[in-house]
A and B are shown apart, each in its own frame.
Chain A
Amino acid sequence: MATEPTSLPVQGPAMQLRDIVLDFRTRSGFGQDKVFRALDSVSLDIGPGEVIGLVGESGSGKTTLGKTMLGVHRPTAGQILYRGADLANLSARGWKPFRRDLQMVFQDPLSSFNPRFTLGSSLALPLALHDVVPKKQIPDEVASLLTRVGLTPEHARRYPHELSGGQLQRVAIARAISVKPRIIVADEAVSKLDVSVRAQVLNLLKRMNRETGVGLVFITHDLGVARFLCDRIAVMYFGRIVEQGPTEAIFGDPRHPYTLSLLRARQHGRTPVASDADETALTIPDPARACHYAPRCARRTPQCIAERPVLAGGSHTFACFNPLSTQAAAAPAHAAMKA
C-alpha cells in the first residue's frame, strides 16, 4: 500500500511534540517495579526542512526522544502532532502510513544492513515497499541514489562488509532519502567515523538537506558538529530540554549553566567544569520537585532545590531560575569551539 506524501501547509512546523512524557518500567525482581522517567515534558517544534540538533550527555534522553518521534517508543503522555494527526497513541499499524515520511540513520551503519543482502537489494526494498518508483525503474533509481551520495552504481553489487564505515554510512543516508521522507532522525550518525570521513558525511547530510528539503533531527554529543549542521539546537539534560534556540544564540548567548559547561568542556585552557563526582555532596528533600541540574550547578540557590524551573522565553528558551546574563556568557562562548 502506497502512501503519497501529502503537501505540507506552507506555514507551521512539520512535527510538533507537546509535553512528551516517557516512563520506562524496570523490573526489580522483588516487590514493586521501578519507574524511570526517560522523557519529562518535552516540547519541540520541527519546522519543514529544518535541521535540529539534540545535544546532551549519554543518558540525557536524546536518543529516546528521537526514537519516540518515529514511533519506536509509545509516550506515556503528551502529543506528537504530525499532518493533522496525533501519533502519540497510535498502534504500530496506525503508524504505518507515516513510516515512509519518517526515516532514521543510525550510529553503526554495519548493523543497520542485512549482511546477506547486497546493498543494491537493501536499497531496492524500501523503494518497492513504498512504490516510490515503478518496479522496472528500481535498478536505475538505486544507481542514481548511490551516485547522489558520492558512490558508484557498482556499489549496488557489494555486500555491507565490503565497504568502509564511511561508505556504508553514505548508503544508509541513500536509503533514508530514497523514500523522500519529511524528517530523518540521525542518531550519532558521524560519531564512529574517522575525522576525514566525518567531514565528508557531514557535508553530504547538509547537501541532502538543501537539495531535498528533508528535515533533520541530528542527535549528537559533539557541539562542534551540531554547530556546523544545525539551524536550531535543543540541549537535553536528564530527560528534559533545558535550553533551546537558534544555533547562534546557543553558542553566542548560552543562558543555562549546563549549556555553558558543555561549551566550556571543549574549550582550550583551564576553565573548571562541574564534576559528576560532586553529585553525592548534596541532599535534596524532594528530588521530584527540584531542578534536575541543581546537584551539579554552581549557580544553585535554595529555590532550585524546592522548585523546578520550566522552559520560558521566546524563540530562545531556557529552564533556569538564575540564567547567565547575556554579556557574561558571550565572551567565553565565542572561544568555546575547538572541535
Chain B
Amino acid sequence: MSASSPLLEVMNLRTSFAVGDRRVKAVRGVSFAIADEEVLGLIGESGSGKTVTGMSLLRLLPEHAAVEADAIRFRGKELSGLGDDDFRALRGVQLAMIFQDPVGSFNPAKTIGWHLQHAIERRSEADAKSWRSEAESLLLDVGIRAPERVLSSYPHQLSGGMLQRALIAMIIALRPALIIADEPTTNLDNLVERQILDLIRLHQRRLKASVLFVTHDLAIAEDICDRIAVMYAGEIVEIGPAEDVLRRPKHPYAACLLQTSLSLEQRDEFLFELAGEPGGRIPEEGCAFAGRCPKTMPQCRTIHPEMRAVGPGHQARCLLHGD
C-alpha cells in the first residue's frame, strides 16, 4: 500500500443479526474512508446503523451478529483475516472507543488510578515506575484540577463528566491512531458536553489521531467533524465535507434533518416536520427513505439508488441527483 492510503478504509460493510428465524440487516453495505488526522462524523437517527457500524469495526458485537465486508483496511492492512488475539492487541491501543456511558468502560471495583496505570503500561514503551506522575499530568490535561483525589477515586464516586474526562485521559495514554467515539456526550449536560467536545478535538489534534464520531446531533457534528456521513436504514445516504453536507445537503433526508434544526433556530411558529419515524421495516426494493420522503417519485419505489457524485468529495444516494 502506498503512503497516501487512508488510515481506515471500509468497503461494503454488512452486519446482520439473527432474530428468531430471520436475519435483520442493520448495516447494508457501508463504505467510507478516514484519512490521517481526520474527524469523520457518522450521523443518523436510532436504528440507522451508525452504532453497529462502529461496533462491527471493533468486533464488539455479540455472537449472533454476522459481520461481512469486502475490505476493512487499517493502514493498508486487511483486518478481517486477523485472529482474535492479534485483533485484541490492536484494539485498545491503535483503535480506541469512547462510549456514551463511561461507567461501562471502567471496572467498578478498581480505582481510576488502577485504570490509568494499566493503560500507561499497555503502551509498551512506558516506564512502569513513572506511571503515577504521568497519570497525574494526563488528568491535568483533561481539565481535572485535583488529580491525586481522582486517582484514588472509584468510578461511582465521580460524575459522568469527570468519568468521561478520565476515560479520555486513558485514551490519550494509549496514543491510538483511531478513536471511535459513540455519542460520547449524549448523557451529559450542555455545559459539560461542550467541555468534553473541546477536549476530544484538542487531543485529537495533539495526538494526530483520526476520529469516527457517531452522533445524532447535527450541531455537534458541525462543530467537531471535518467530513460527515449521514446514515439512514443501514446505508450511508450522503457523505462529504461537513460544510457541504450540513449547509447544502443533497439527499432529501439530510435536507429534512437540517430543515428541522433550522426551524428551531429561526423560531418558526411550528417546527418543520418530517413525516413518519425511523426504524421501520426496510422495503425489499427501492429507496429505504421513499416512504417518508417529501420528494418521492414513482421510480423511488422500485429502483435502489447508488451513490453518485454531487460535488467535490461529496456523494449522495438519491435518484434526484447524478446522471
Binds A, one of B32-40, B62-70, B214-222, B295-303: B214-222
> A residues within 8 A CB of B195?
273, 275-277
Q: Is A200 an interface residue (CB 8 A)?
A: yes
Q: Is A202 an interface residue (CB 8 A)?
A: yes
User: Is B270's CB under 8 angstroms from A203's CB?
Assistant: yes
Q: Is A265 an interface residue (CB 8 A)?
A: yes
CA gap between A262 and B190 in the complex, in Å: 7
Q: Indicate which residue in B143, B193, B267 contacts A265 across the interface (CB closer than 8 Å).
A: B193
User: Is A203's CB under 8 angstroms from B273's CB?
Assistant: yes
CA gap between A195 and B186 in the complex, in Å: 13
User: Is A273's CB under 8 angstroms from B277's CB?
Assistant: no
CA gap between A277 and B274 in the complex, in Å: 40
Q: Indicate which residue in B45, B46, B189 contacts A58 across the interface (CB closer than 8 Å).
A: B189
CA gap between A318 and B165 in the complex, in Å: 32
Given A194-B278, A196-B274, A339-B219, A57:B264 Cβ within 8 A: no
> B residues within 8 A CB of A198?
260
> B residues within 8 A CB of A164?
277, 279
Q: Is A1 an interface residue (CB 8 A)?
A: no
Chain A: CB-nearest residue to B292: A196
Chain A: CB-nearest residue to B258: A195
Q: Indicate which residue in A166, A221, A262, A281 contacts B277 across the interface (CB closer than 8 Å).
A: A166
Count how many pairs of residues, one from A and one from B, have CB atoms less than 8 Å apart in the complex.
Answer: 108
Given A224-B264, A275-B143, A202:B271 Cβ within 8 A: yes
User: Is A277's CB under 8 angstroms from B145's CB?
Assistant: yes
Count chain A residues whose beta carbon lies closer than 8 angstroms to a beta carbon of B: 42
> B residues within 8 A CB of A57?
189-192
User: Is A223's CB under 8 angstroms from B145's CB?
Assistant: no
Q: Is B257 an interface residue (CB 8 A)?
A: yes
User: Is A203's CB under 8 angstroms from B277's CB?
Assistant: no
Nearest-Cβ distance from residue B234 to partner chain A, whole angstroms: 15
A residues 165-219 near B (Cβ < 8 Å) are 166-167, 194-200, 202-203, 206-207
Please indicate which of the listed interface residues B146, B194, B256 has the most CB atoms of chain A within 10 Å of its own CB: B194
User: Is A225's CB under 8 angstroms from B190's CB?
Assistant: no
Given A194-B46, A199-B274, A221:B279 Cβ within 8 A: no
> A residues within 8 A CB of B219?
266, 268, 338-339
User: Is B223's CB under 8 angstroms from A268's CB?
Assistant: yes
User: Is A206's CB under 8 angstroms from B270's CB?
Assistant: yes
User: Is A194's CB under 8 angstroms from B277's CB?
Assistant: yes
Nearest-Cβ distance from residue B263 to partner chain A, whole angstroms: 7
> A residues within 8 A CB of B192?
57, 276
> B residues within 8 A CB of A265?
190-191, 193-194
> A residues within 8 A CB of B194?
264-266, 273
User: Is A337's CB under 8 angstroms from B265's CB?
Assistant: yes
Given A195-B216, A277-B162, A339:B191 Cβ within 8 A: no
Chain B: CB-nearest residue to A296: B191
User: Is B260's CB under 8 angstroms from A228's CB?
Assistant: no
Q: Is A6 an interface residue (CB 8 A)?
A: no
CA gap between A57 and B191 in the complex, in Å: 8
CA gap between A166 and B279 in the complex, in Å: 11
User: Is A266's CB under 8 angstroms from B277's CB?
Assistant: no
Given A57-B189, A58-B189, A196-B278, A276:B159 Cβ within 8 A: yes
Q: Is B107 an interface residue (CB 8 A)?
A: no
User: Is A224's CB under 8 angstroms from B265's CB?
Assistant: yes
> B residues within 8 A CB of A167?
277
CA gap between A278 and B146 in the complex, in Å: 9
CA gap between A172 and B149 in the complex, in Å: 45
Q: Is B144 an interface residue (CB 8 A)?
A: yes
Q: Indicate which residue in B159, B191, B216, B278 contacts A273 across the interface (CB closer than 8 Å).
A: B191
User: Is A276's CB under 8 angstroms from B273's CB?
Assistant: no
> A residues within 8 A CB of B222?
268, 338
CA gap between A278 and B46 in the complex, in Å: 35
Nearest-Cβ distance from residue B153 to partner chain A, whole angstroms: 12
Nearest-Cβ distance from residue A283 to partner chain B, whole angstroms: 12
Q: Name A's B-contacting residues (CB within 8 A).
A: 57-58, 164, 166-167, 194-200, 202-203, 206-207, 221-225, 227-228, 261-262, 264-266, 268, 270, 273-281, 337-339
5 closest pairs, A vs B, by CB?
A57-B189, A194-B45, A199-B271, A196-B274, A265-B190
Instruction: Pick 21 A–B contacts, CB within 8 A, sort by A.
Output: A57-B189, A57-B190, A167-B277, A194-B216, A194-B278, A195-B218, A196-B256, A196-B260, A199-B263, A199-B274, A203-B273, A223-B190, A228-B271, A265-B194, A268-B222, A273-B191, A276-B159, A277-B143, A277-B195, A281-B145, A337-B264
